[in-house]
Amino acid sequence: MSNAALAGIQRQIMWNRLIAVVEEQAQTMIRTAFSTTVREAGDLSAGIFDLQGRMLAQAVTGTPGHVNSMMEAVGHFLAKFPTESMNPGDHYITNDPWMGTGHLHDLTVVTPAFRRGAIVGLFANTAHVIDVGGLGMGPEGRSVFEEGIYIPIVKCFDRGVPNETFFDFIRWGSRLPVELEGDVYSLCACNDAGAKRLVAMMDEFNMDSIDPLAEFIFDSSLRATLTEIAKLPGGTYSSEISSDGYEQTVTLKAAMTVLPDAIEVDYAGTSGLSQRGINVPAAYTRAYACFGIKVVVAPEIPNNWASLLPFRMKIPEGCILNAPRPYPVAVRHVVGQLLPDLMMGCLHQAVPDRVTAEGSSCLWNPPLRGGGAVSGQGTPNKPVIGDFEVTTFNSGGTGARISRDGLDATAFPSGVRTMPVEATENIAPVVFWRKELRPDSGGAGRQRGGFGQIMEIAAKGDLEYAVNAIFDRVGHPPKGRDGGGEGAAGVVRLVSGQTLRTKGFQVIPDGERLLLELPGGGGLGDPATRDPHAVARDVRDSLVSPENAATLYKVSVEPDGGLDAAATELLRSQSHAL
Amino acid sequence: MSVRLAVDIGGTFTDLALEANGARHTTKVLTTPAAPEQGVMTGVRAILEQAGLAASDIEILIHGTTLATNAVIERKGAKTALITTQGFRDVLAMGNESRYDQYDLNIVLPEPLVPRHLRLTVPERLDNEGKILLPLDEAAVRALVPVLQREAVESVAVGFLHGFVNPTHERRVRDILAEMMPEMPVSLASDVSPEMREWERFSTTAANAYVQPLMASYLRRLEADLRGIGMTAPIFMMLSGGGLTTIETACRFPIRLVESGPAGGAIFSATIARACGLNRVLSFDMGGTTAKICLIDDFQPQTSRTFEVARVGRFRKGSGLPLRIPVIEMVEIGAGGGSIAHVDSLGRIGVGPESAGADPGPACYGRGGLHPAVTDANLALGRYDPERFAGGAMKLHAEPALAALKHDVGEKLNLSAELAGLGVVEMVDENMANAARVHAIESGKTYDGRTMIAFGGGGPVHGGRVAEKIGIDRVLVPSGAGVGSAIGFLRAPVGYEVVRSLYQRFSTFDVAAVNALLDDMVAEASTVVAAGSFGAPTRQSRIAFMRYVGQGHEIAVTLPEGRILQSDVIAIRASYDQEYARFYDRPVPGSDVEIMSYAVVVATITELAETATDVGKPHAAVPDRFQNVRDTATGEVSAWGIYDRIRLAANAIVQGPAIIAEDETSTLVGPSWTARIEEHGFIEMTRKASA
C-alpha cells in the first residue's frame, strides 16, 4: 500500500469537489438573479482563486466570454485591495470594462473566503445585467462615458454591511434600479455560497491551505495542455475574417504559431478602432480566442489559470481587438464572438479534421425600447406605447462539423440560452409574430451548416418603437470549408421592405414590423457528396427547396421528400464530368 | 381482510409486492417488453400462489411502469403531429437555442418527437392576456385533415402561444378534429400542461400525444387480462408526482406516468421516514445503472414541475426533452453497480455514465465483460463474498475483475488492481456526493441533521461513504430494499395535483380571483380523486409559487387553509420573505413579490404500515465469519466481521468495520460507524464521532 498513491487519489477527489463548489456558486446566482440575461439566458461565470489571484476552478455553467476576462479581473482587485486589507463579510465590485469583462453591463464581484479567522481563498463571479443607464445596450456611444454608469473597484459590502452610498448611486443611475440592486445582492450571495462550501471542504479534508491543491491542479492541467499542444503539427498558420463593422468593414487577422510548448497568436494587420461601441478590450479578445483554441485543442481540460497559460496573444495597441480606455466598448461581443471562427481558420491548416465551418457566431440580440424615450408624448390622434426596455437572445446556425451537420438556431461560441417568447411578451408590450427556422439558410456541404431563424417583431397594436441594432454577418456571411458553401447572410429590414442598418438606433414606425433573418452556418465538404437521404429529409421538412437540392446537392427530390435515385445518380455523374 | 397488490414494471424486472393481513410477499419476474401485461400476469399468478390467495381476493391493485419513458427513449410511440401557431413551427426543435456542453463541438441535441413535416401551423394569435390578436382560421384547420390522413398520423398534439391563458382556439381545433376524424386522439397543451413557457408546454403535450395510443391500449389489455382471471378490484396507476390515479385519467394524461418507478422508491423512503419519525431525510436509491437522490422533508418527497426525459448527453442536464408535469424531484446520475470506470486525458479516474448493463455485465459476472465496473471495484476491495452474491444465485469471479481494473485503470496510473478499485469506488462515491450537493443548493436545502435512507442493490454498500462526504451522520437501511418501489406503491395516497398559472402582484392582489381559481382547481382534483378514494378522508394542500418581481425562479409557499381573506395577504407575503431569507441569507429590500402559479393537491390520508416491535436489550452481535476488506480511507486491509442480517435480533449492535449481508444487498458499516437493528427491523448506522 503506497501512501503516495492514496494521496494522489485523494487529490483527484478534492479537485472534483472544488469544481462542485464553483458549480454551487453559479447555481446560487441563477436562482437569485433578477436580470433575464442571467437567470434565463445564463450570461454569467463563477470561479475560485488563490490568494495570488490565480483561478483554480470555474463553474461549468456559464459563458466563455467571461472565462479568461474574469480570470484576469481578480488581479486588478488585489492590486487595489490587497488580501491583508480584506475582512469577512466584504464584497468588492466593478464594471470597469478594462478591469473586468469588457463592457459596463458586466458586473464582477470578488469576495474573500475566511476560515478560522484567516483568509484562505477568493471567489469571483461575473454577470451581464440588463441596464446600467447611459445610452442603453447598443453601439451608439462615442466613448465609454456615454455607455452607462462607471463603477470603479469599490466595496459594496463592508463586513456584511451594505455600502448605501454605492447602492444609492446605482439605484439612481439605472432605468431598472430594482433589478440592478437585486442582481448585486445575488452576486454576493453566490460568492458567499461558494465560500461556505470551501470552508466545509477544508474542514473535511483537514486542509490548512488550498495552495498544495492549487499546485496539483496547475501542474496536472499545464502538463495535459502541453501534451495536447505537442500533438499538433508545428508551424505558423494565418487566417482572416471580416465583420460588417459600424462605419465600415472590420477585418481581423491572425497569425497562429504552434510551438512545442505554446500557441502564440499575433493579430498584426487587424483593423483599427471604431468610433462606436464595437471595440474590444484586450481581456475579452483573449477570452474568446482562448476558447476557440481550447475547444479544438484541449476541450476536456478544465479551465484554470494553468490550462490557459500556454495560449499567448500579441494584440497590437490601437487595433480593434485591443481598445484602450475610454473608447466605447458596449457591444464588444459583436466583433469578439468572431474570434473562435478566426482561430479555427488558422487551426484548419494544422488539424483540418477537428474544426468546424464558420457559423453565425454573433448573437442577434435586439435591444428594444418603446414609449416616451422613442416617441415623445402621446396625443389622442397618436397613441404611444407604454415605456419599455427589453432584450432577447437569439442565434443563427452554427458551422457544419466534421461528422455532423451544424446546429440550427443555436448559440456558439456564446453559452447563453434564449428566453421563451411568452415570457418576453409578459414583461414588455411586444408581439413576436414569427420565430422559426429559416429555410435554405444552412451552407451546403457534405455536412450542412445549421439553419438560421426568422423573427418578426412588433409592438402591441403595431405602435412605434425602436431597435438598437447590434447585428453582423449581413455583408460577410459565414464561410464554408473544404468545398462547403456559405451560410445565408443575415437580413435586417422592415416587413414592408425597407432595409435597416445592421448597427445603431433605428425607429420602427407605426404600422411597421421589424424583420430579422439570422444567418445560417457554413457547410463542410462538397455538397455533391452529401447523403442523398439527408438531402431528401431536408426537402421533406421544407428546409431545403427541391431547386437547391438539385443545383447545390445534385439530388433529385420531390417536394414531399420522395428521392429519385436514378435522376440523382445522373445529376451527380454529370457534375463529376464537369 | 385487506389484500393489496403492487406491480412495478422496470427495464429488466417486474417487481411485485402483496400485502395481506399484515403479511408481505414479494417476487420478481422478467419484464416482457413487447407485451408487458404478459410478465405482469406471470408475476400476479406467482405471487397469488405464494400467498395462497385467489385473484378475486385482491382488493386493490396499484401499478407503475416505465413503459411511457421507454417509448420516448426508444422512439417507439405513435406517429404524432403538432398543430401550432403560424410563425412558430419550430418551437420543439429550437428549444432554448443553447448547447448543454460548452466544450464539446460534436454534441447531439435531442430530436423532437414530432418531425418538422408533421409540425403544422394555422393562422391564429393570442396575446399574453389571452386576448385574440388574430382569430383562428378554421378553414386552415380543416385543410390539415387530408395531410394527417395522408401521413397516417396516429395522434395529434395542439399547442398555441399563450393558449394556457385562453384555451378557446385549442378547444375549437379539438372539436373540428373530433367532427372530421372522430377516432383521432387529441392532446391539448392547455389540458396537459397549462403553464407559461412554450417550449416546455409543447414538448410535454407532444410527448403525451406520442405515448397515448400505446399506453391506452396496454392498459386496456392489462385490465382485460386481470378481469379474465377473476380480479374485480379497482386498478390504480402510480403517477410521477407520487399520487395514484384511475386508468381513465392515466389514458388521458399518460405522460404523468413517466417516472412512476423512482417515485415509488421515494414514497418507500417517505413511509420509512414517517414510521421512524424522521423529519429530514435523504433518499438514496442506487441500482445497476443509476443512483437516484431525493430530499424528503416532513415525510413528503420534494416535488417539482419540470423533468427531462431521454437525455442524449449521458445524463447531462439540458440534453433531454423537457416535460412540465408534477414529479417527485430527484437527481438521477449515471452511477450504479454496472457503471464503467476509465481514465481521462488528465490521468483522472472517471466512472460512468456508460454501464455494463445486465449483459455482459461487470467483468466479475464472468460473461465476457472486459471493462471494470463499480461492482468489480467493490469485489476487488473484498466487499463481496464471491460465493454468496445475490444469495448465492450468482457466483462472482475475482480474476476478470482484477484484470479489467488493472488494464483500464491501474496500468495508466501505476496502481495495483486493488488500489485502482479503491480509486474507482472513491470516485463514484464522490460523484454521487457532488450530485447530491448541487441538488441541495438547487433546492435551497442543506444536509445538516438529515438521515439517509439507503436502498436498491448498491445503496447500502455505498450509502455510508456518501453520507460521510456530505456530512450526514445517520443512515437507515430498511427491510425489503430490493423491491422498494413496489412497496412504495402500496403506501401512495390516491391523489392528484393540478397546476395553473395566474399572474398576480402582491401590491395588487386580487383575493376574489385567486379564490375562484383555487376552488376550480380543488374541484378538478377532487373529481379525479373521488373516482378512486371510495369516500376515504382526503387532505388538500395549496401552494403558491412566488418570487421577487424581476427574478426567474420561484419559491413554493404554502397558503393558509380555507378561503383566502384580504387579511391573510400580509401574512403570505411575510412567509415568502422568511422562506427566501432561509435559502439565501437575506431578503431583498424594497422589492414587490409576484405570484406566477398555484398548485393544488388533493389526496387521501395515508396510514402507517411499518410497525415497531418490542426491542430486546442492546447486545453486541457475534460475526458469522470474517473477510479481508480494504478500507477506502486508509487503504489498509484487515479482517472485517460479516453478519448475516437474517440472524440479527432487534437491538443487536454491530461495530464497524463490518458488513451485514443479505440476499439482495450488503450493508457496509465503515470503521467510523456503529450499526444497530432498530425497532422496525431496519439497520440504523450512526457515526461514532457524532454518537
- Tens of pLDDT along A250-259? 999 999 999 9
Q: Does residue A445 sit in the same domain as residue A544? A: no
Q: Cβ contact (<8 Å) for A295 and B103? A: yes
Q: Does residue A111 sit in the same domain as residue A172? A: yes
Q: Does residue A100 sit in the same domain as residue A14? A: yes
Give kind and range of the element (H or E) at residue B292.
Answer: strand B291-297
- Any domain includes A111: yes
The list of chain B residues with pLDDT below 70 reads: 1, 11-12, 313-315, 357-359, 390-391, 393, 442, 444, 482, 532, 550-553, 582-590, 606-615, 689-691
Q: Which residues from chain A sit within 8 angstroms of residue B86, using beta carbons?
A: 434
Specify the pLDDT at position B313: 65
Whether chain A has a CB inside 8 Å of the CB on B587: the answer is no
Query: Coil, strand or helix: which one is B591?
Result: coil
Question: Dihedral (C-alpha) A343, A349, A351, A356: value to the nearest 10 degrees?
Answer: 50
- Any domain includes A163: yes
- Any domain includes A309: no
Residue of B461, B460, B464 whose CA lies nearest to B481: B460
Q: Which residues from chain A sit within 8 angstroms of residue B377, using beta carbons?
A: none
Whether chain A has a CB inside 8 Å of the CB on B105: the answer is yes
Alpha-carbon Rg for chain B in angstroms: 26
Q: Which three cell numbers stand for residue B60?
A: 386493490
Q: Which residues from chain B sit within 8 angstroms of residue A228, using beta carbons?
A: 345
For CA atoms A341, A343, A348, A352, the dihedral sign is negative
- Any domain includes A281: no
Alpha carbon of B51: minimum distance to chain A alpha carbons (Å)? 49
Provide the β-strand partners of residue B80: B155
Q: How many CB pairs under 8 A join A and B?
A: 218
Q: Give yes or no for a cis peptide into B123 (omega within 30° of 0).
A: no
Q: Cβ contact (<8 Å) for B548 and A60? A: no
Q: Does residue A409 sit in the same domain as residue A492? A: yes
pLDDT digits (tens, 9 = 90+) for B134-174: 999 999 999 999 999 999 999 999 999 999 889 999 999 99
For CA atoms B474, B479, B480, B484, the dihedral sign is negative
Is the pLDDT at A577 greater than 60, yes or no? Answer: no
Provide the β-strand partners of residue A119: A114
Q: Which residues from chain B sit within 8 angstroms of residue A456, using beta carbons?
A: 87
What does the buried/exposed string (b/e) look like for A428-454 if buried means 16 or more CB atoms within 10 Å of the residue's CB?
bbbbbbbbbbbbbbbbbbbbbbbbbbb
Q: Cβ contact (<8 Å) for A224 and B345? A: yes
C-alpha to C-alpha distance for B213 and B228, rounded to whole angstroms: 22
Q: Does residue A474 sit in the same domain as residue A493? A: yes
pLDDT digits (tens, 9 = 90+) for A442-452: 999 999 999 99
**Dihedrals phi, psi of B346, to nearest 5 degrees:** -95, 10
**Dihedrals phi, psi of B168, to nearest 5 degrees:** -55, -50
Q: Does residue A539 sit in the same domain as residue A418? A: no
Query: Coil, strand or helix: which one is B16?
Result: strand
Q: A221-230, A480-489, B529-538: which range is least confident on average? A: B529-538
Q: Cβ contact (<8 Å) for B442 and A31? A: yes
| Selected residue of A421, A495, A540 to mutate for chain B interface (largest B Cβ count, 10 A) | A421
C-alpha to C-alpha distance for B91 and B321, rounded to whole angstroms: 12
B244 or A345: which carries more pLDDT confidence? A345
Specify the pLDDT at position B21: 79
C-alpha to C-alpha distance for B112 and B501, rounded to whole angstroms: 25
Please name the member of A12, A39, A221 whose beta carbon is closest to the beta carbon of B551. Answer: A39
Query: Residue B155 class from Cβ within 10 Å (0-12 exposed, 13-18 middle, 19+ buried)?
Result: buried
Please name the member of B96, B441, B548 whose beta carbon is closest to the beta carbon of A418. Answer: B96
pLDDT digits (tens, 9 = 90+) for A503-558: 999 999 999 999 999 999 999 999 999 999 999 999 999 999 999 999 999 999 98
Write down the residue that cell numbers 483554441 correspond to.
A293
Q: Which three cell numbers stand for residue A167?
A: 447602492
Q: Does residue A137 sit in the same domain as residue A87? A: yes
Whether chain A has a CB inside 8 Å of the CB on B129: the answer is no
Please name the member of B108, B552, B636 whose beta carbon is closest to the beta carbon of A40. Answer: B552
Q: How far is CA B452 from CA B6, B32, B285, B476, in A?
A: 25, 34, 10, 6
Residue of B504, B522, B524, B523 whose CA lies nearest to B514: B504
Whether chain A has a CB inside 8 Å of the CB on B162: the answer is yes
Domains of chain B plus CATH, in order, are 3-72+216-257 (3.30.420.40), 75-211 (3.40.50), 339-427 (no CATH), 495-604 (3.30.1490)
Cβ-contact A445, A523 below 8 angstroms = yes
Residue of B155, B453, B207, B470 whose CA lies nearest to B327: B207
Write down the residue that cell numbers 421516514 correspond to.
B273
Question: Dihedral (C-alpha) B184, B190, B195, B197: value to the nearest 10 degrees?
Answer: 60
Write down the residue that cell numbers 447585428 correspond to.
A471
Alpha-carbon Rg for chain A in angstroms: 25
Specify the pLDDT at position B635: 87
Give one word for B97, left, alpha or beta, with left for phi > 0 and alpha for psi -120 to 50: left
Query: Coil, strand or helix: which one is B241?
Result: coil
C-alpha to C-alpha distance for A233 and B320, rounded to whole angstroms: 38
Q: Does residue A450 sit in the same domain as residue A475? A: yes
C-alpha to C-alpha distance for B678 and B478, rounded to whole angstroms: 10
Q: Which three cell numbers stand for residue A504?
A: 445603431
Q: Which three cell numbers stand for residue A46?
A: 463563477
Please name the member of A179, A453, A542 whose beta carbon is closest to the beta carbon of B550. Answer: A179
Specify the pLDDT at position B609: 60
Give kind and range of the element (H or E) at residue A432.
Answer: strand A430-437
The answer for B 181-200 residues in CB contact with A (under 8 A) is 196-199
Strand pairing of B303-304 and B683-687?
Answer: unpaired
Helices (H), A377-451: 421-427
Whether chain A has a CB inside 8 Å of the CB on B415: the answer is yes
C-alpha to C-alpha distance for A190 and A202, rounded to whole angstroms: 19
Question: Dihedral (C-alpha) B380, B383, B387, B389: value to the nearest 10 degrees?
Answer: -110
Q: Does residue A114 sit in the same domain as residue A216? A: yes
Q: Structure pTM?
A: 0.88
Mean pLDDT of A89-101: 95
Residue A64: closest CA among chain B residues belongs to which residue?
A: B102
Residue of A115, A305, A78, A85 whose CA lies nearest to A197: A115
Cβ-contact A119, A83 below 8 angstroms = yes
- Any domain includes A380: yes
Query: Coil, strand or helix: which one is B675?
Result: strand
Strands (E), B405-527: 451-455, 474-477, 495-505
| Selected residue of B88, B128, B131 to mutate for chain A interface (largest A Cβ count, 10 A) | B128
Q: Does residue A132 sit in the same domain as residue A83? A: yes
What does the buried/exposed string (b/e) look like for B461-472 if buried means 16 or more CB atoms within 10 Å of the residue's CB?
bbbbbbbbbbbb
Q: Cβ contact (<8 Å) for A178 and B549? A: yes
- Any domain includes A435: yes
Q: Cβ contact (<8 Å) for B419 and A5? A: yes
| Selected residue of B103, B160, B306, B427 to mutate for chain A interface (largest A Cβ count, 10 A) | B103
Q: Cβ contact (<8 Å) for B104 and A23? A: no
Q: Which residues from chain A sit within 8 angstroms of residue B597, using beta carbons?
A: none
- Boundaries of domain holding A554: 532-577
- Domain end among A222, A251, A279: A222
Alpha carbon of A207: minimum distance to chain B alpha carbons (Å)? 15
Q: Which residues from chain A sit within 8 angstroms of residue B91, using beta carbons?
A: 436
Residue B439: closest CA among chain A residues belongs to which residue?
A: A24
Provide the β-strand partners of residue A504: A469
Q: Which three cell numbers stand for residue B413?
A: 496510473
Whether chain A has a CB inside 8 Å of the CB on B97: the answer is yes
Residue A33: closest CA among chain B residues belongs to which residue?
A: B551
C-alpha to C-alpha distance for A77 and A54, rounded to whole angstroms: 12
Alpha carbon of A9: minimum distance to chain B alpha carbons (Å)? 6
For CA atoms B316, A523, A450, A391, the dihedral sign is positive
pLDDT digits (tens, 9 = 90+) for A171-218: 999 988 888 998 999 999 899 989 998 998 898 888 999 999 999 999
Please name the member of B93, B196, B349 whose beta carbon is closest to the beta carbon of A12. Answer: B349
Q: Which residues from chain B sit within 8 angstroms of residue A33, using beta carbons?
A: 551-552
B104 or A10: which carries more pLDDT confidence? B104
Residue of B402, B388, B464, B399 whose CA lies nearest to B631: B464
Residue of B310, B64, B63, B135 whose CA lies nearest to B206: B310
Q: How far is CA A282 from CA A98, A101, A390, in A?
A: 8, 10, 28
Cβ-contact A193, B441 below 8 angstroms = yes
Alpha carbon of B193: minimum distance to chain A alpha carbons (Å)? 15
Please name the member of A35, A456, A561 whose beta carbon is closest to the beta carbon of B87. Answer: A456
Alpha carbon of B152: minimum distance to chain A alpha carbons (Å)? 14
Q: Does residue A521 sit in the same domain as residue A536? A: no
How many structural domains comprise chain A?
3
C-alpha to C-alpha distance for B241 and A300, rounded to whole angstroms: 37
Strand pairing of B637-644 and B23-30?
Answer: unpaired
Q: CB neighbours (10 Å) of residue B56? A: 12
Q: Which three cell numbers stand for residue A492?
A: 435586417
Q: Does residue A513 sit in the same domain as residue A536? A: no
Specify the pLDDT at position A526: 97
Residue of A528, A515, A445 whose CA lies nearest to A482: A445
Query: Residue B297 class from Cβ within 10 Å (0-12 exposed, 13-18 middle, 19+ buried)?
Result: middle
Residue B161: closest CA among chain A residues belongs to which residue?
A: A422
- Any domain includes A270: no
C-alpha to C-alpha distance for A443 and A394, rounded to whole angstroms: 19
Measured between alpha carbons, how far apart are the two ends of chain B, in Å? 43
- Any domain includes A321: no
- Domain end among A188, A222, A256: A222
Q: Cβ contact (<8 Å) for B109 and A28? A: no
C-alpha to C-alpha distance for A184 and A225, rounded to whole angstroms: 35
Q: Cβ contact (<8 Å) for A9 and B349? A: yes
Alpha carbon of B172: minimum distance to chain A alpha carbons (Å)? 21
Q: Which three cell numbers stand for residue A210?
A: 488550498
Query: Coil, strand or helix: which one is B332?
Result: strand
| Selected residue of A32, A218, A308 to mutate for chain B interface (largest B Cβ count, 10 A) | A32
Give kind and range of the element (H or E) at residue A508.
Answer: strand A503-508
Specify the pLDDT at position A1: 44
Q: Cβ contact (<8 Å) for A453 and B90? A: yes
Alpha carbon of A567: minimum distance to chain B alpha carbons (Å)? 24
- Domain end among A222, A254, A289: A222
Q: Cβ contact (<8 Å) for B97 and A410? A: yes
Q: What angle do CA B52, B53, B54 make, to 5 degrees?
A: 135
DSSP letter assigned to residue A560: T
Give one word for B498, left, alpha or beta, with left for phi > 0 and alpha for psi -120 to 50: beta
Give kind and range of the element (H or E) at residue B30.
Answer: strand B23-30
Alpha carbon of B3: minimum distance to chain A alpha carbons (Å)? 46
Q: Which residues from chain B sit within 8 angstroms of residue A415, using beta carbons?
A: 98-99, 102
Q: Which residues from chain B sit within 8 angstroms of residue A402, using beta carbons?
A: 106
Q: Cβ contact (<8 Å) for A437 and B196? A: no
Q: Cβ contact (<8 Å) for A5 and B548? A: no
ipTM of the complex in this document? 0.93
DSSP letter assigned to residue B116: G
pLDDT classification of A31: cutoffs 50, 70, 90: confident
Q: What angle do CA B130, B136, B138 make, to 5 degrees?
A: 155
